[in-house]
Amino acid sequence: MSDLDKKLDQLEVDGFLLVKGALSPDEVAQVRGRVDHARKMGWEEGLNSVGNMWFDSLLDREPETFAPLVGHPSIRPYLEGMMGPQCQLRSYRAHINPGAYLQEWHMDFYGYWEERRKIESYRLATQPVGVNTTYYLQDNNPGDGHLKFIKQGHLAEPPHLTPPMDRPAFEQWCQEQEHVILYPQAGDCVVFLSHIPHQGAKERDDMDRSNVVCHYQCTPMHEGAWFVSRSRGYAGTFPFAEAL
């Protein structure tokens, strides 16, 4: 079995994979500098109550800095190994944690289990899946900061998600589960299935902490699939899906 196959197996079994040194020190310095610049420019979409400031526009504003992180050569084998040409960038978000930060336990793809149930009703529907690649821009050492996952939290549906979600009960349940704690260093990338519950945190409020997240989804009808007509794209083309 090749090293890559072992890593892909690990990603499937654990729900995440820590890729050490995915970005070079120069790339980290460049990306971190431009994320800090975005904050100085006031380009953030907001700062939430748990201390997470987010930026959704950086890929469009500064593609020369931010586009290389999409399908970055150090991450590409994992994305390609999981999804091949069906790998589609869904969204792109940078974060800065300016002060105290204890993220809420959450899943990026909350609807994974609901969609999984739905496909049973339809003959051609396939299970949607999401993958995060989160690039860390500082050393998160013990005592500084970390990223926690629920151990194998991608394999079974968590309780309390049925809409309307009971957030305090979900949070409490997450806290009571067995966890795996990662301490990603500057340049490391954590590749994980977007439906595994996770929580980032600072252990030291004055730590500089930022990251860039590329969200991918698996889209069977990719742009390279041979079809007689050109695709109309994405927005407004799902007649039976309710927009959130």
Ligand X SMILES: O=C(O)CCC(=O)C(=O)O
Contact flags string 6-45 toward ligand X, x per CB under 6 A: ----------------------------------------
* Binding residue (CB under 6 A) for ligand X from 15, 158, 187, 200: 200
Nearer to ligand X, 195 or 198 (CB): 198
Least Å distance between CB 20 and ligand X?
16
Least Å distance between CB 28 and ligand X?
15
Least Å distance between CB 141 and ligand X?
14
Least Å distance between CB 21 and ligand X?
18
Nearer to ligand X, 86 or 132 (CB): 132
Cβ atoms of 50 and 101 within 8 Å: the answer is yes
188 binds ligand X (CB under 6 A): no
Nearer to ligand X, 86 or 211 (CB): 211
Distant-in-sequence, close-in-space partners of 131: CB < 8 Å, separation ≥ 6: 79, 82, 83, 87, 191, 192, 193, 194, 215, 216, 217, 218
138 binds ligand X (CB under 6 A): no
Site residues for ligand X, 204-233, by CB under 6 A, read 211, 213
- Amino acid in position 68: P
Least Å distance between CB 93 and ligand X?
8
Nearer to ligand X, 180 or 222 (CB): 180
* Binding residue (CB under 6 A) for ligand X from 11, 38, 147, 196: 147
Nearer to ligand X, 74 or 222 (CB): 74
108 binds ligand X (CB under 6 A): yes
State the Cα–Cα distance between residues 10 and 16, nearest whole angstrom: 8
Site size toward ligand X (CB under 6 A) is 9
Applying CB under 6 A, the residues found at the interface with ligand X are 103, 108, 132, 134, 147, 198, 200, 211, 213
